[in-house]
Chains A and B, each alone.
Chain A
């Protein structure tokens, strides 16, 4: 996707270069894909990010517990050994907005990220890999939640 704003203040040179090239968004918020984060379904979120219809693939792995004691904090991870990964996505199917996180992968990092998400209820959690050849691959796992993490 488009070049993202460089947030390190000491990288002023880089920022200057980006601005000169007309690649720097007007505001930081402009770089945030609002439509994708407002999408209600996994497919809509991927579409909003410019991806094709996702295809289930064994080459993508989703990690997480089978059961989460508390939906407020659910450890999840997304990985693939395939070359040419552009982006990794983590989504929670039954959350009010499905998309939780988007990671733009470079050659300098492995296509393997872990974070923690909130889950309102038991749901499929989906890991998506958007590839440089345009393919969109996904893996999913059901995580049961004993206590919802989005309420009071």
Chain B
């Protein structure tokens, strides 16, 4: 990851030209991204996630089919575009991934704390990502509409907003440094403006996503984790309140945006 910026710069610098074969670089890259859309490897994770949902697993040898993702036991369609939300059984606002861990714990008998400690892409954590990918896909084309009726949900939004603007660390960065203005970019990467609805399939409405650069499936928790890494902040714990609150903030702001998740990103 850390060589990305340097490498990209070096390569583009070496090109030394602003146009490639009659098209602008931006047009050329748009064409490249278009070509990748047909055959998004996220499909592989989606299939894996569906199978994980329906296969009896864990110490209790149970499936996840009775998991309540917020719309009632076993209801998957539409759940993604209403998360994070408050859950009465855990008395917490949970995002998709932390809710899945709760279900893996209660229904299948896994140890949730162990899963939370597992690095992304490994063991049961990789399964959580695959499950999240499938569940997101089941809401593809639907529009975000997070519930804000409960005090806890409103509080999550307010906390998330403050986390979003929290400046700290050796570079003085907050989320807002990069995602608080319209039409900005880092190098050639367009930056979604996340303090409002950034548009269909942009920002919160695009993750989980398959990352072309490393061939990995990235969940929202991992997406935020890497944002904090690049903010030069310490490591956000998986499922921490700050990351869930950020999800609530971005999700509520994205109200009405169409979900294209799982998408493919550079």
Contacts and interface: CB of A to CB of B under 8 A. Distances in A.
A147 interface: yes
Contacts of A142: 21
A116 B32 CA distance: 12
B7 A73 contact: no
A22 interface: no
Given A73-B212, A147-B213, A68 B32 contact: yes
B36 A72 contact: no
A65 to B, nearest CB: 4
Interface in A34-76: 65-70, 72-73, 75
A76 to B, nearest CB: 9
A67 B4 CA distance: 17
Contacts of B266: 69-70
Does more than half of chain A's interface fall in helix, strand or loop, or is it mixed? loop
A152 B36 contact: no
A65 B7 contact: no
Contact of B7 (A68, A75, A122, A151): A151
Interface residues of B, number: 25
Contacts of B23: 66-67
B88 interface: no
Contacts, number: 62
Contact of B32 (A69, A72, A121, A151): A69
A5 interface: no
Given A75-B35, A75-B36, A147-B4, A69 B11 contact: no
Contact of B15 (A65, A72, A122): A122
Given A66-B28, A147-B7, A148-B11, A72 B215 contact: yes
B214 interface: yes
Interface in B33-88: 33, 35-36
Interface in B182-223: 188, 212-215
A144 interface: yes
A72 B265 CA distance: 12
Contacts of B8: 146-147
B113 interface: no
B179 to A, nearest CB: 20
A121 B214 CA distance: 16
A67 B32 contact: yes
A122 B11 CA distance: 8
B229 to A, nearest CB: 16
B36 to A, nearest CB: 6
Q: Output the residue of A68, A145, A151, A152 with the most chain B CB within 10 A.
A: A68
A51 B20 CA distance: 33
Contacts of B25: 67
Interface of A: 65-70, 72-73, 75, 116, 121-122, 142, 144-148, 151-152
Closest 4 pairs between A and B when the two form their complex, measured CB to CB: A67-B28, A65-B32, A147-B8, A75-B35
